[in-house]
Amino acid sequence: MKKGLIRLSSNYLLRQSKLFSTNNRLVFRFCSAKQEKHEFKAETKKLLDIVAKSIYTDKDVFLRELLSNASDALEKQRFLATQKGEQVPSDLEIKIDLDEQKRTITIEDSGIGMTKQEMIDNLGTIARSGSKQFLEQVGSQMNDKIIGQFGVGFYSSFIVGDTVEVVSKSERSDKTYVWVSDGTGTFEISEAKDYFQGRGTKITIHLRPDQAIFSKKAEVLKTIQRYSNFINYPIVVNGERQNIVSAIWVRNKNEITPEDYNKFYEYISNSKLAYKYKLHYSTDAPLSIKALLYIPQTHMEKYGMQMEEFDISLYCKKILIRKNCRELLPHFLRFVKGVVDCEDLPLNISREGYQDTALIAKLKSKLNQRLSEIRQVTLLEGVAMDDEHRNSMTKLLRFQTNKSEDFISLDDYISKLPQGINNIYYYLAPTRQQALTSPYMEPFSNSEIPVILTMNHMDEVVFKQINEYSSKKFVNIESDQAEVDKVAQKSTEENEKKEETNVETTIPNDEITPFCLWLKNELNPIISQVQISKRLKTSPAIIVSAISSGMRQVMHAMGQSTDDLKNLTLEINVQNPIIVNLNKVRKSNRVIASLASKQILDGCLLSSGLLRDPKEVVERQHKILNVLLTSEINTPIIEEVGAYREEAVKQKDSKKDDLDTEIIIDSDGNPQVVKKNKK
């Protein structure tokens, strides 16, 4: 049996303690005329004792550390099999065997295993992380899978054990080796024949008499549930799997059923009562955050004498860092339950806390921002259902406007209205950006009147129900045409004072009525009325309906038919170049004009949320593209180079004079461009 000394990875401990490093040697400097270099010396036995017994707060964390190491070994084996194009082994699991009589606990994994040299390097060197070296080799693609990073977790086994035995076999070696140490600074390593049939690592801890509790199943199960219940691989204790609840917060929302959410809530809340609301949130920027938060139906606070305890658990890569984490949410949200997983947490060496309070503050800000959406939904329900407290709850609602991304109250909104405005204007859109670029916002683009932007159709239900606030009427700028036209008319009058309309960029007055009738006929039965818009400035047209898109969403959700695509009004901008040119083309080529008019309608339906079936839209786009491309192919293209430039121009002009271009519809109904000699 070969003996060795447990070494110190100076470079790593140096980075952790923020000292000065040169060529991987620990040095300090003196302010003198001549500097001398000296190496720090470490008493290995004392250092090992500090690492094993002074870093960690609780003794049971040794099991968390060893299970994390086992998980990393399994993850490495899975990754290497995938890289080789092999099938992922089906035997990837962690086994824990307990023997109360012998006072031992054994943790075995079927992971990547270690060679003799790897056992000497990884187990015989404090603060040398094999997992970190693995990540450096394979790149960042495994960052979210590998847990270990410090290289000290293994030595936590000496918190509870007086002797630790490690048996390991790697697929890269045909031999199995045993590593044994009592934590006094030395270790022994020898070959163990016929121990492993395949690969893996088995750690047996001979517990000290005062730590015999960790050979009892109940204590081990409690520790697994506290720290490591969401490890990806099965944890089997004395033949029975324990971690049967999966970490659903890291999965795609579309893969999770309502039953999964219910079961997970029952698990974390220890309650059979259903939750009221949930927030499943995932983002990679500016922080990598995966969170699943619940708002319960009720809480345990009574008359202010008993306060809810924070029940948010902070994880890093599915390993518990802190339970009941008070730093993640403001105190008034203490009733929220759930988990938050942040891969970017700068953990301290014990992995029981974090080093960057600024990052935690940023994490708290992001979570609070997303939870405000749930609070808004809760308040909206109260405003809609509670007549007695409606006014007081309405004061608590918060909205963004087109003027600012800050959330403001309705009272703040009213304070920003110009003199004489008696309406509260709002607009519903899927996102803020879509709202700001919508044609419906054009009358307000240069106006001092702010518009509330909402992304929740329930806002409009509430606005319709309460109708007004502080004697100001709620006006949806999409459907309340008369009120919006007043704003548009005032804006138009101000613009006319500044500039005159160019008659060449508008449809002549005597052609407006025939054009509107033609357009109505082309777009029938979807469009029953075409009228000149007072609100549009740059867009060609919009759809106007008494029923807004938000109300349509509510009616569809309730199973009510709304006849979306019948008897709608089309407002056109007679100064828009597309509309002006459409009026000209309809006189010379009705086929192209018909296609173009329907394409304009498609755009309007899309903007108003009425476009249900895109099939016809795509087919029409293909026809228009075919016309454009066919026209381009048949247009003569002549290289104009050097001395032949003038002749080329003459040839080009003469061909134009000799040919007429005509678009016809072929037997398949497709438009084709043909050229004819002039008669």
Residues annotated within the binding site for ATP are 65, 69, 109, 114, 122, 129-130, 149-154, 201, 351
In whole angstroms, what is the distance from residue 479 CA to residue 428 CA? 11
Q: Are strands 289-296 and 235-237 parallel, antiparallel or unpaired?
A: unpaired
Cβ–Cβ under 8 Å, residues 180 and 134? no
**130: which 2 tokens?**
């094999």
∠219-111-61 over CA atoms, to 5°?
30
Cβ–Cβ under 8 Å, residues 44 and 187? no
SS3 labels along 33-88 = CCCCCCCCCCCHHHHHHHHHHCCCCCCCHHHHHHHHHHHHHHHHHHHHHHHCCCCC
**182: which 2 tokens?**
């009592």
Alpha carbon separation from 536 to 1, 488, 602 (Å, rounded):
88, 8, 17
In whole angstroms, what is the distance from residue 90 CA to residue 71 CA? 15
Q: Which residues pair with 200 in a beta bridge?
A: 169
Binding site members:
65, 69, 109, 114, 122, 129-130, 149-154, 201, 351
Q: Are strands 319-322 and 311-316 parallel, antiparallel or unpaired?
A: antiparallel
Helices (H) and strands (E) in the chain, counts: 19, 29
Alpha carbon separation from 653 to 161, 397, 628, 646 (Å, rounded):
97, 68, 21, 11
SS3 labels along 566-603 = CCEEEEECCCCHHHHHHHHHHHHCHHHHHHHHHHHHHH
In whole angstroms, what is the distance from residue 555 CA to residue 516 CA? 31
Any idea how long the chain is?
A: 679
Burial category of 341 from C-beta neighbours within 10 Å (exposed 0-12, middle 13-18, buried 19 and up): buried
SS3 at position 634: coil
Backbone angles phi, psi at 438, to 5 degrees: -75, 145
In whole angstroms, what is the distance from residue 407 CA to residue 597 CA? 40
**394: which 2 tokens?**
């309405």
Peptide bond into 286 cis (omega under 30): yes
Query: Phi-psi region for residue 192, left (φ > 0), alpha (ψ -120 to 50) or beta?
Result: beta
Half-sphere exposure of 411 (CA within 13 A, CB side): 6
Peptide bond into 525 cis (omega under 30): yes
**293: which 2 tokens?**
């938060």
Cβ–Cβ under 8 Å, residues 494 and 537? no
**619: which 2 tokens?**
């087919």
In whole angstroms, what is the distance from residue 678 CA to residue 641 CA? 29
**302: which 2 tokens?**
């009574």
Written as one letter, the residue type at 674 is V
Half-sphere exposure of 491 (CA within 13 A, CB side): 18
**299: which 2 tokens?**
């809480």
Run of H or E including 177: strand 176-181
Run of H or E including 496: helix 481-498
